[in-house]
Structures are given as C-alpha cells and as structure tokens.
Amino acid sequence: MLTLLHHPFCPHSRFARLAIAEFDLETELVEERVWERREEFLILNPAGQTPVLIAEGFPAVPGPNVIAEFLSEMHPSLGDGVRDRNLIGASPQQRVEVRRLLAWFAEKFAAEVSLPLANERLHKRFMTPEQGGGPPDTDVMRAARKNIRYHLAYIDWLTGQRDWLAGDRLTFADLAAAAHLSVVDYLGDVPWAETQYAKHWYARMKSRPSFRPILAEVSGALPPAPHYADPDF
C-alpha cells in the first residue's frame, strides 16, 4: 500500500495521482495543506511541497518528477497486454523528450500559470493573513492568464505534430500537462477556443479512467467551470 500526501488542487499532486492510477497501484490519499507547515510533513520533505509518496521500506519520495522516476523503476514490466505502462519512454531519445517536457510543466508552466492561479483563486481562501492569505492579487492573475496563451500555443503545436505530447505514445509528459491544465480549467481560465489540436488531446486525457477521480473533486471555495468534467467539452 502506498500513501500519497497531496492537495486536491495542487497540479503536481494531480500529476502524481494520474501516474499512480495509470500503474493501477492501490494508494491512500492524505490531504496536506502545505501552508500550515506541519512539522511531521516538513520532516518528510523539508522543501514543504506536495506531493510526497510514502512506500514501505523506502525513504519518502518527494516531488512529481522523482515520483515518476520511482514508479518507473519499481514497476518497469507492469502491463496487462492491453495498455503499455512504460510512461517514461521506450528509447533514450524519447526519454530525453519526456523528461524535458516534465521539467517544462513542473517548473515553467507551474511557475508562470498553474501555481499562481491556484494560489490566488483557491488556496488563499483557506490561509490566514500570517500564512499569506487575503484577497487575490489581480496583477498576478492577469499575468498568469496572459502566460497560458503561449503555453497553450506550444501544446497545440506539439499535439498537431504528434499523436501524444512526446511522440507516438502516452507518457508522463501527457499526464503532467493534463494535470496542470486541469487546475486552470477548473477555474475556467484556459482559452480553448484559441486551439486547434490541444482541446482534442485534452478531451482524450479527460476520458481516461485515471482522470475520473480528479474531475469529480470540487472545492468548497469555488465551483468548477461548467465544462470542467465534460469529456466532450
């Protein structure tokens, strides 16, 4: 049994959940509000960030990309004859591309789009002033909404050139992109009308069984955009 310390609207946590679900691994989910700075959590991950995966016999596995590598190493031959669960890439060239895109979404997209919007529109509602709570910063939200346009254009270009983001097969790159987009889409801040291919790709991702639990979650602070859980949006 695995345990994942996560937050439902942390895009990194959503990526870890999607990856674990694609491996069909039984996992207990424990919500962690990182702004509370729990001592027990900081011992597991001094960086104070979700997600953190706990597996018996191993040190705590922190962060989305480390979790992806851990799952690939621990379950390299997992498969059912129907789905190929090698999500890191079949060749050295593809593994480079998958890891490059993982870094793109975990670092660049997160910093410029998904984390600022989630923090300003959702997380701040649950924080005390001492924890950074308060009214949303409209300048931060405006910048993130501007930034998503060039990120979405890049995703649109990739999905117009390839079957999946990193090539001809589903990989961690698709799960990472979809996880980050799902948080922004919950808020209704993805300009899907500006895309030609990305919307179709994301509809395929939303239709995967691994996505269903995520699409079913609703924040008490803010309802989702009307199209959020609809695969045929």
Question: What ranges make up the beta strands (E) of the chain?
Answer: 2-6, 27-31, 52-55, 61-62
Calpha distance 32→38 (Å, rounded)? 9
Locus of tokens 């922190």:
62
pTM more than 0.85: yes
Which residue's entry shows tokens 């793109």? Answer: 104
Low-confidence ranges of the chain (pLDDT < 50): 78-83
| HSE-up (13 A, CA, CB side) for residue 178 | 31
The residue among 42, 208, 188, 183 whose CA lies nearest residue 105 is 183
Residue 84 has a pLDDT of 58
Which one, of 120, 226, 172, lies nearest residue 12 by Cα? Answer: 172
Residue-level pLDDT at 231: 87
Cis peptide before 231 (omega within 30 of 0): no
Residue 32, CB-side half-sphere exposure with 13 Å CA sphere: 26
**Residue-level pLDDT at 232:** 86
User: What are the residue ranges spanned by the domains of the chain?
Assistant: 92-208
Find out whether 21 and 213 touch, Cβ atoms under 8 Å. Answer: yes
99 Cα distance to chain centroid = 15
Query: Is CATH 1.20.1050.10 the right assignment for the domain spanning 92-208?
Result: yes
First to last CA, the chain: 35
Instruction: Using the structure block, give the residue that is written with the tokens 């994942």.
Output: 4
